Structure 1
């Protein structure tokens, strides 16, 4: 993930965001360089860490954006044991309707941060099988999530409290696409945009 603060005090914004990752260092592999931060681990702490980083940055008044690429099941990368997830393993035995219902319930129970954000993202389900059924199933879930703003060409816009929006993203990542398949999400998050004022 890469953070882009729209301020001359970009270092202060980035540092406050990275400081929010400290509690996750025991559960995640975190590597930061001058371009981005790599975070490897299970989806539960991973999405919490990404959410907390962006929330910490967005609590300041400056416009800030973040670009994130998420991947699970990539055949080109070694399968890190720290990435195992019980919810993902259980999803193999659940119907699409069951997964949609569980995803919607998880968003309703999401923590509230008080930070309003916008996200634009695309879900990519790769491999064999009916990948479009999974994508359409995810879109149906998104429309009932309470964070759906609108559909755009090749992506979906979400808006709401950072807690609910990042929970929506976690559920899309965990519950749609084959549990053993390669699934990716490409997302851009924004907060405090002057365009919305």
Structure 2
């Protein structure tokens, strides 16, 4: 299986270079666990979901600790049939989770969010989960939405997406659980994600 994300950071400040570089510094602990490649458009991260979502959380939280309004866009994918298998992407949780009834997967996802460590940065996220190539894909999506509404990070439903708010630790754990526990283990599942912190609109 291939699991990865293309991530782009957008600081709304004249010191955007400094904010981006401070965010990228937060990826240092993950470089032994993920394949990370940065160019002038985005950063590619390839690897298992646990370090992958931790890296995205720390990248964004690191940038969000500046006072500037900062946003991040990410396209996250697992199981794309057009990508080669990557040994570093092996994830036991996927195989185990998909053998369980939907209610059990929801309960395990909630427990993981409740145990997530705090990052000390409040963020907003809107995202869409896409379960591809499956006849009953809406059952998985509706099951995920029910989990989100109980997660403690749910803010509101919007057209085509769901809005989350809270500490970056809990929010990114919610995203990781949505990615891991809904949709077939060997199927193609993607997330389209936009995160925001320090927005002047909130003030």
Please give the TM-score of this superposition, normalised by the length of structure 2.
Answer: 0.96
Aligned to 2:159: 153
Post-superposition shift, 1:113? 1.2
In the alignment, is residue 61 of structure 1 matched against residue 67 of structure 2? yes
Q: Any residues of structure 2 matched to 1:1-197 within 5 Å, and which?
A: 1-197=7-203
In structure 1, how many angstroms separate the alpha carbons of the residues matched to 2:115 and 2:181? Answer: 16
| Displacement over 6 Å in runs of 4+ | none
Could you report, residue by residue, the CA deviation over 1:40-78 in whole angstroms, capped at 9, with x for unpaired residues? Answer: 000000000000000100011000000000000000111
Equivalent residues, number: 197
Post-superposition shift, 1:160? 0.2
Could you report, residue by residue, the CA deviation over 1:95-145 in whole angstroms, capped at 9, with x for unpaired residues? Answer: 100000000000000010110000000000001230000000000000000
> What is the SS of the residue equivalent to 1:194?
coil
In structure 2, how many angstroms separate the alpha carbons of the residues matched to 1:146 and 1:136? Answer: 17
In structure 1, how many angstroms separate the alpha carbons of the residues matched to 2:164 and 2:30? Answer: 26
Aligned to 2:4: none
Could you report, residue by residue, the CA deviation over 1:141-193 in whole angstroms, capped at 9, with x for unpaired residues? Answer: 00000000000001000000000000000000000000110000000000000
**Structure 1 runs not aligned, ≥5 long:** none
In structure 2, how many angstroms separate the alpha carbons of the residues matched to 1:43 and 1:142? Answer: 18
**Structure 2 runs not aligned, ≥5 long:** 1-6
